[in-house]
Structure formats: structure tokens, C-alpha cells
Structure 1
Amino acid sequence: MPEMPEKEQAADERPRRRQARGERRIAQLLEAAASVFCTTGYTAAGTNAIAREAGVSPGTLYQFFPNKEAIAIELGDRLIHEMRATYGEALAPVDPTTPLEEAVGAAVDRFIAFNCDHPVFFALMHGPDIPGRIAEEHDALHVTLVSRIEALLSSLLPTTPAAEVTRTAHVCLGMYKAGLELVLAHEGAEREAYVRELKNILFRYLAPMIGDQPATRTNLTAPAAAADR
């Protein structure tokens, strides 16, 4: 196969370089937006503040995003994609002999780590003015997670009425959300203390219902882990 002439090779490389620069600029703007949203909240944030945080002019920002909602949607899409991967890891089966307390703790640790690494996820998903598309995706994720928690709890509590299983799933979700907010509001040793309290609450809530049979422990990561949203 004949080689491409040098001039054609150079012409082919230019669009690739421009695309790479554009991707780096988008990543830079999204990182700046995450910082601004965490500091001021989505509602109070502005494109000028995001551009300033990114060290670029507002005109440069508008080359990539028409407004802050578009920035939030792109950021939210990427975070939800990464969160789904985290769910996959946290919901993976564990050794049936794993103690309940250890299984719950491991799942909580995965989700706490994600939210501590990406505090903007909580800021965007739980703010009063979530952009419409993000809210829709978040609601869909929430419904899926609650359904999965219900299914797992039903397999662990086969004689429990469906209404009680649903209630238990929502209680797990509510406890985790409340605990996560407290965890993110603190740092260092105090944050670690709140994480321990959250694990303890979930463990003590689930243990009396599920019991201490090793065979029931395989799926215990799911009720605790899926409580994040």
C-alpha cells in the first residue's frame, strides 16, 4: 500500500491536534466549573466565574459551551457514567463467608470515596435547581437503584410483605443520603468518624432483619451501597 504524501499527512494531523486541544480545554473548563459549583452552588455560579477559575476569557468558554447549563449537563453526564461504574464495583458479589459488617463497610467505602473525590456530584444532584436533563437522568438512576435494592432485599427476606421491603429500601436510601451529607461537610479525622457512624447505622438496621446466616451475606453490599444517589 503506497504511503501517504508528507503534505497530506501533515494536513491529516492538524485536525487531530485541534481536536486534542479542544478536549483538553473542555476538561479544563469542566474542572473549573466543578470547583465553582462546589463553592457557590449551581444557582449562584456564572460563566464569568467559571472562565476566571479556568484562566480563560468568557469568549473562549463560549466557543465550547453556550451557557452554564450546558456545562453542568456535560459534567453531570460524565459523573453519572463514572458513578454507574462505581455501582458495578460496589454491587459485585462478595465471598459468602464475609461478615455483614465488613460487607456493608466495604460498599460504603467505595461510594464515600467517589463522592469525596467528586464533591460536585453531590452539589449538582442535590441542589435546588438541578438542570432538567440532569434531574431526569438522576431520577431514572434513583428508580433503578431502589428497584434493585427491593429485589435483593426480597431474596434475603422472602416472607416479608412487598410493602415492607419497599419501605426498607427507601429507609436505607434515606439513611445513606443523610450520612453522606454529614460526611462531606467534614474533613480529616472528623469525616472518618462520621463514616464509621454511617456504617454502624446501616449495619445495625439491616442485621436484625437479614440475620447472621453466611448464605445471606453474599448480597449485603447492595442494600448499603445502592443507597447513594
Structure 2
Amino acid sequence: MAKLTKKQKEAHGKIDKNKNYSILEASALVKEITNANFDASVDIAVRLGVDPRKANQMVRGVVTLPHGTGKDVKVLALVTPDKAAEATEAGADYVGLDEYLEKIKSGWTDVDVIITMPSVMGKLGPLGRILGPRGLMPNPKTGTVTMDVAKAVTEVKAGKIDFKVDKTGIVHAGIGKVSFSAEQISENAKELLETLVKLKPTAAKGVYVKTIYMSSTMSPSVALDPKVV
């Protein structure tokens, strides 16, 4: 195991390993124990009592964080010419169709979200092996395949994120930056957790929210009380 630096030891020393913190307490503590010389991201990891291998226990959804993510989200709008102007006005960073499909085929994926229209999805199918592993394939369930392109772009830019339980039963999501106030981090976390609870599959038995941990890019993790939601 790597040796901890003095600052890392101090950070670990401020965490009570026998305590499950409230959302606000954890938010304040993560800010306190982050010593990065950049604006670190704040992340949350929620272990769910589901079996993601079963289709009826898959948990996936979208949430609009009240204070955004703090990240400048780069959006590509793959749209027909008649929708290009509204996508540009809504704030999409890249707007077009065939020229960007060719770029993606060549391996270009320098965006965070791709928004497109139902009529374009057929052209995106062959690019699944490039976009899928990077989590960039548009999906009607997350609102990234829509005729209301302007609304979708605006929502993503304002802090709308999508999340999906991984194969180990954990949902990972970025909920802000260390520069946010503890209250802003807390409110973003609460919005995500409340959304997760609403998505509990009927097939999931027993305890649904098993553990919740909050951390920053450069901090140890802080355990939250799973009963907060």
C-alpha cells in the first residue's frame, strides 16, 4: 500500500470511520479534507441492492442538479440542417451531422454529451462500438434523442446528468465542485438520491440503498447514512 502523505493523514484523521454522516455534514467535511490545488470534482457512489444483470433490476435515469455540475459540459448536436440554428442558439458547442459522423468514425469523441433526433439514430447505429464504451450513445430514456433539441441542449448545459448502475450494483455520479458551498453540494446530492429512490425496481427485494459514499477527486471517502433518503 502506498504511504500516505502528511496532508492525506490529516484528511483521514478528520473522518470518524464509525460514523455515518448526514448529507450536509459529509458535504462540509469533503470540502475540508480536500487539499487539491485545483477545483476538484465532488462525487457520490451509491451501492444499491439490485442485480444489474437482470433487466427488471436495471436502474438508469436522469436528474437536473439544482446547482449544476460546475463543469463546462461540451455538447455535440447531431441534427439535420433545419434544426442546426436552434441547437446553436441553445448553446451546443458543436452542431452538424455528416461531417461529425465522419470525425467520430475516425475516433474523435472530444465531447461530454451527444444530442440527436430520432431520424438520425439510424446513422449512429454503426458507431455504437465507439460511442457505447464512452457512454456517449444518445438514448431516448435520457432525453438525448428528441425533436426538441434546443430544450435538451439547455437542460444538459444547466446541469442535467444521466446515471446508470454499473455491473457491481453501484451508481457513480459527479454532483459538483469543491468550490461549491456545502449547502449547494448537499442539495445536489439530495436531488440525486431522491431520484434514485423513486427509480427502485419492483423486482428489487430487501434493502435498496445499501451504502452511500461522498468524496472529491483528491480526498478519502466519507460514509453517509443510507437512511437519509
Both structures adopt the same fold (TM-score exceeding 0.5): no
| TM-score in terms of structure 2 length | 0.23
The structure carrying a bigger strand percent of its residues is: 2
| Pair member with larger Rg | 1
